[in-house]
Amino acid sequence: MSDLDDPACRALLAGVKVCRISSGAGTALLPTQGTLKDTRYPLRRPVIMLVTEGKSGLGTGFASFVAGHKGQRIILKQGLAPAHTPAREVMIVTP
């Protein structure tokens, strides 16, 4: 549903409604990056990668990429909560 260039995905996304939920007596929350990261949103699951290769191969390389800087940035840009937020370096230039 994240391919906004595809008209079918855009039509499907237009029909999706996100509702707030709560875990009991607390306030109802939307699933945002912040509520997922600080574990306040009750319907969250961690993503665990198990690599069962005998040697370093494609699976190990993919797991390393996802855990690295570029992989965590991709997860962040998709609206999910990465395990660690990539640092953002900003250079301010004054005229």
pTM: 0.58
- Contact assessment for residue 1 and residue 10, using Cβ atoms and an 8 Å cutoff: no
**Per the structure block, which two tokens stand in for 46?**
């961690």
Q: Same domain for 56 and 76?
A: yes
E strands, the chain, in order: none
Q: How many helices (DSSP H) and strands (DSSP E) are in the chain?
A: 4, 0
pLDDT by position in tens, the chain (length 95):
667 788 898 898 888 888 888 888 778 988 888 888 888 888 888 888 888 888 888 889 998 998 888 888 888 887 777 777 766 778 899 88
Boundaries of domain holding 75:
46-85
In terms of domains, do 13 and 30 share one? yes
